[in-house]
Structure formats: structure tokens, C-alpha cells
Chains A and B, each alone.
Chain A
Amino acid sequence: MNHDLETAEHPETLKRVVIEPLTRVEGHGKVTLLLDEDEHIQQARLHIVEFRGFEKFIQGRPYWEVPVLVQRLCGICPVSHHLAAAKAVDALVGVRQLPPTAEKIRRLIHFGQTLQSHAVHFFHLSSPDLLFGFEDEVSHRNIVGVIADHPDIALKGVKLRKFGQEVIRVVSGKRVHGTLAVPGGVNKALSREDRDYLLRQTDEVLAWSRDAVDLVKRLYVANSAFHDRFGRIDSHWLSLVDSDGNLEIYDGSLRTRDDSGCMIFDQAPCDDYAEFIREGIKPWTYMKFPFLITLGREDGWYRVGPLARVNNCDQIATPLAEAQRREFLAQDAAGHPIRAPLAYHWARMIELLHCAEAIVGLLRDPDILGGELQLRGEPRQEGIGVIEAPRGTLFHHYRIDEQGLIEKANLIVSTTNNNQAMNESIRAVAREFLDGHELTEGLLNHIEVAIRAYDPCLSCATHAVGKMPLSLELLDCNGRLLNRLERNSRGSCELA
């Protein structure tokens, strides 16, 4: 492991390189590297803007507003926040089990959201690295380059995303930031007309989703020795599973495995999350570091997201995705979890296929066309909602006063869960690829490739398409500027 790269012994004597803003990730973040005279990496850290403001902002607001307010955390996966908050609010109104129509409608929008999020991430943000190589010309290494060189691939990405957005629009009234969940249920079922409109597209969506898995598999396997090694770390894994151990993204219980796949705990109720997970802090970043309490602060960190879910579950409930899962896991002859960060892309596309299959199943289910929409039970003052967002496990926890106003909120967002893992991966990459070399844009992109694999949502919607201005500064130990590399808004790089 490369844990020693978290904090250098004498940072004051080292050169500092900052990669900011990170590109082709959602939101803003930066990486700082400290190098010694001989360009050896001594420290590597990822810093991310956190969401704490929101927890404060919603204090004093009525609880039934929260699922709509928290959507504004993010323009990329608002549905995840909406649903996680809605599940917590269900608990506040005393509803454990939603009526079938309400639960299926919520699942439908969640699958739609996950499908569109995974499609954007792979096709728009990450496929350029895998198709063109990490050191490809930056002006070409983006979705525009994919459209130029592989229009068929780009088009499928665009269409998959569009379908996911259409599911969201039809269910919630808007493509982004609609309304759907109300305390104890949903505000509408699907109309027959909307159901048929979506169903008409599903054959193609299934075909494109299968192609997407095939594509990522082909790209990965074409250079699997390198892809397996790139930024590889050992970690524990955390995700939801259902009561049979199936991959589950809407509901279920918590399961964790260690790096060799042995169960640490299973079927832990989400309501008890605080007994299993705690958030640590480090002096150099506002972003917290969640860990499993039983294993402690240093060793208890874990990974979440598509790779965690695919590694963690016993099976996937839909047949095409399940077949792909088996093939995916067969890569490791010893039957251990797949550890390579770049395997996240593959796992993500397996999930995309699962979403497509699950959407078809739900659209064929008559329950989604109508039935009881909302239930009420005995009110409570504390509610916890846990969901698998596209990027990983997402925790929403609220306490309200007797009048129904939010007193306290705690959110652990998916990206925070992967904080330590992303830091470990960039350290692994920095040590293997950057150490001792003169830094170039292509080499620095290696760092970004490792981060991108986790699909972090660093704050809210940015669609950088590889043209985001990026400036790298090399300073000596006295803070003097030695070298400056700039990527301008047209995407070309200049030494300043």
C-alpha cells in the first residue's frame, strides 16, 4: 500500500504540484502532489468540496420539504438524494413498507437515474481515456473526439442517457429536479400512455446496454495486465444487498466484505448504520473519511459503488447482467473480489445492463399503472434512508422536533465513502507512473483517470468534456514558481 504518501515528513522542503480543477469528473476538486528534488513523489492528496452546508441549510425546514430540497445537492444524481431523503421521511411518518405501486414507481425512477448516470459517466467522461489512451492529445481526448472517431459508440451513449432521462421525466414530471416521492409514497402512478412510450424503446435500450458491456469488456481485456495493475489497491467493500444477497440499489441491508471476499458483516439493518460506520476527519481536508468501527480508523475504510456492489452481491436478479457478473468475476482465478479501479467501468456497465432489464420488468408490471400510492403510520422523530446511488451507498439521517421541523441532519454521500479509496488509488498511480519523471499533462491525466474510475461527484453538475481550464504549478520549497503548465479553455496545453 502507499499509505506513507498521505503525509510527507518535511513538506516544507518539497515542490508542490496542484491539479485543479480535475476534469471529466462531476464538480470541482483538486489533487496536490509534493515532490522532492529528484521528482520523487512524497505526498499525494485529493481534496473535495463537501456538502455540509446543506445539512445546516435544511435545519428548521418542514420535514416533508426535504426530499425536494436535497435534490438540489446535485444536478447529476438528484433522484438519489430525493429517494434517500424520501425513505428517511417514510420512517418519520411511520411507514416501513410502501404500497407495491409506490415502491415500484420509486424503483423505476431509480433505475432510470442509475442508467442515465452510468451512461454519462462511461460514454461522456471516461470512454476517451480507454479508447484513446491516457496520454492522447488533450484536445482529442474527450467526447468530441469520441464522436469524431467512433460516432456509433458516442450515439449509443447519448441515446442511453436520453432514455434514462425520459424515464425520470415521465415519472417525476421533469428531466431534472421533478417531484415524485411524498411522505409514505409517491404522488402518481404511470399512465398507460407513458408506459407504452417507454416500452417501445426497451428493445433498443437492451441491445445498446449489452453492447456497452461488450465494449468496456473488450477495452479492458485488450490490455488487462495494465488495467488490472493501474491504481490497484486492496480494500473492504460496502453495499446494500437484499435479503437473498442479490444486488440491490433501492432498499435492503448493509453487507461488507474484506479484500479477499470474506464477509465482515451481512444483513446489517440500515437504521443501525451509526453502529457500524463512523466518519473520521483529517486536518488537511474538509472531506470526511468513513470507516467500519470494528476495524478502526486506519484499517476500516472501504469502497462503495458499482464495483463494490458487483463484488459484494451473491447474484444479480436479472439474467443478462447476472451472466456478465459471472464472467467479470471469473477474471480472478482465486475467486477474490476484483480490485482494479478501472474495473469500476466494467462493473458500471454490468449495472447499466441490469438497470435496463429491471426497467423492462417494471414496465411490464401492471402495478405501476395504479393502486394505492401513499400510506401513513405512527409518526416518529428520527428517520434514516439508505440507498445505492449510482456512485455508491448514500445515507440520509434526519431528526425532527415535535412540530415537524428538521432539527438535525446527517448525510454521508457516496463520494465521501470512497474518499480514502480514491486517495489510495492516486498514491498508487503517483508512485508507479509519476515518481521520478518530469511531469507532463499526459502523466497528470493518469491521476485523473484513477479518480474518474470512481465516478466521484465532487459537487454539482459540470460537463467538462476535457476542456476545463487546468493549471499546474511547480513551486520550489520557497514557494517560487518553477514551472507552469496550462490547459486553456480550447483544450490545448501550453508551458507558461
Chain B
Amino acid sequence: MTAYFQIDGVPIPFESGQTIMDAALAAGQYIPHLCHNPEFRPHGSCRVCTVRADGRFVAACTFPASEGAKVECASDELRELRNGLLQMLFVEGNHVCPGCEKSGACQLQAVAYYCEMLAPELPHFFPRRHVDASHPDLAIDYGRCILCELCVRASREVDGKSIFAIGGRGIKAHLLVDSPSGKLGDTDMSVHDKAAHVCPVGAILIKHRGYDRPIGQRLYDQRPVSVVGDVIQAEETRDD
């Protein structure tokens, strides 16, 4: 007998040990998310996937599915909450979509569109964060990092290099590079590493090639993130 729970009244089958997110994605039911990717251990940090399970606020990516649970995902309350989180993400960093090469293929932008966030409404922090272009093939624009830890997990779990970590707390949290200089150029990171292709925003960039996809042909130009999926999968199937 297959076990089921419900998301907004829709029955979702699941297997024991699956999270709400795993089961939902497997069933083709999209729950907005940024720091989650099925390839990596769930992290539960961005909270964009917050749902109500039997009345409790939980992160769908870390909370186990359970028989008969009633999960709310698309209520006005949750929409508002998600919108608030996205608003904060946008103003906390320097997410200037019009000039960013990731525009149209950025998961933060795509999730914001999905969640109907049309413009940043909070005052911008405009943090002064630099670009590390010390690596011959890769650059990091720290102003765009949303601390999702996907690169941290990819480098540790897949590449076996543990090049990245998050340091600091709260508003001071930031991405760290494990090298004496703190520069990417002084690590053994390669452009072929998994970590070079997981960034959902325009923080980790392949150098010298921005804007090469014409408008109309970028990842999220034709279909929404709920249909297209995460940046990671698309990056992996990119032919160059």
C-alpha cells in the first residue's frame, strides 16, 4: 500500500524516509526553493520552501512526509511569507538583474517571478562586496551570494575538495574560500568541478562568456521555474 499525504488537497504518494520536498518534486508538485537540490543533503537554510504541515511551519526540504499529513503550500499566508523572504534576499545583496549575466537563467529571479514578487520593496543594503577574479576560469561576485551552501556541499560531497564554507553569523555570514589568501585562484578548484556549476544566482561565474544566450533562449525565458527546475540540472546539460 502506497502512503499518501496532501499538499493543498492534492494527494502525494511518498516512500518512507522521503521529505515533503522529495515526495512533492517526485510527484511533479513544485514547492519554491533555493538552497535545496535533490543531489545534495538537505540544508533548510533559505526557508523559501516553508509550508504548513498539520498547522506547523516547517521547511519542506527537511521535514519528513507522513501518512495523512495535511500540508498547505499555496495559501495567501505562505505566499506572503515567501515573498517577504525573497524581498529580504534581494536587498541584502547586490542583485541588479538588468546588468547581471545570469538574468533570465537565475533561480532567485525565477523563484521571485513564480512567487509574484515584482520589485524589491525594502531599502537596499548595497553591501560593499568585491569580485574575486583571481582564478583563470572562474570568478565569484560576492555581492550576489545568497548563502545557499550549494557550492559548499558540491565541493565537499562531490568534488571532495571542500573549497567553500560559510563563515560569520547572522548579517555577517559570508562565503569563505579555503586558501591562504582567501582567493579562489589559490585553490585547486577547476572549471569542471561540480561546485562551479551549482550556483543558483550569478555569484560563481565562468569567466569570459556572459550574455552568450540570447534573450528568449535563456533558461527561464519561456517556461517558469516550476516547470524548468533548478539551475543545477540546466548547467549540467549545457552543451559547452
Residue from the list A69, A72, A173, A403 in contact with B216, Cβ < 8 A: A173
Find chain A residues with CB under 8 A from B208 CB.
64, 93, 183, 404
**A68 close to chain B: CB less than 8 A:** yes
Q: B215 at interface (Cβ–Cβ under 8 A)?
A: yes
B114 contacts the other chain (CB 8 A): no
* Docked-complex contact B130 and A182, CB < 8 angstroms: no
CB within 8 Å of A: which of B200-222?
A: 205, 207-217
Residues of A within 8 A of B212 (CB): 182, 187, 374
A377 within 8 A of B: no
Residues of B within 8 A of A173 (CB): 214-216
Mark out the residues of chain A between 402 and 435 whose CB falls within 8 Å of any chain B CB in the assembled complex: 403-405
With a CB–CB cut-off of 8 A, which chain B residues contact A93? 208
B134–A403 contact, CB under 8 A? yes
- In the complex, chain B residues whose CB is within 8 Å of the CB of A405: 131, 133
Across the A-B interface, how many residue pairs have beta carbons closer than 8 Å? 61
Chain A contact residue count (CB 8 A cutoff): 25
List residues of B (63-86) whose CB comes within 8 Å of A's CBs. Answer: none
Residues of A with C-beta under 8 A to B214: 173, 179-180, 187-188
Name the distance in Å between A342's Cβ and chain B's nearest Cβ: 37
Asked whether any CB of chain B lies closer than 8 Å to the CB of A100, the reply is no
Do A72 and B101 contact each other (CB < 8 Å), given the known contacts A64-B209, A173-B215, A187-B213? no
Asked if B99 and A68 make an inter-chain contact with CB atoms under 8 angstroms apart, the answer reads: yes
Q: Which residues on the A side are within 8 Å of B130 (C-beta)?
A: 60
* A68-B99, A72-B99 known; A62 vs B205 contact (CB < 8 Å): yes
B139 is an interface residue with CB less than 8 A from chain A: yes
**Do B207 and A72 have beta carbons less than 8 Å apart?**
no
User: In the bound complex, how far is the Cα of B214 from the Cα of A71, in angstroms?
Assistant: 16
Chain A residues near B (Cβ < 8 Å): 60-62, 64-65, 67-69, 72, 93, 172-174, 177-180, 182-183, 187-188, 374, 403-405
Please give me the 4 A-B residue pairs with the lowest Cβ-Cβ distance, nearest first: A173-B215, A403-B133, A188-B214, A179-B211
- 30 A-B residue pairs with CB within 8 Å: A60-B130, A62-B133, A62-B205, A64-B208, A64-B209, A64-B210, A64-B211, A65-B99, A65-B210, A67-B211, A68-B98, A68-B99, A68-B101, A72-B98, A72-B99, A172-B215, A173-B215, A179-B211, A179-B214, A179-B215, A182-B211, A187-B211, A187-B213, A187-B214, A188-B217, A374-B212, A403-B133, A403-B139, A404-B133, A404-B139
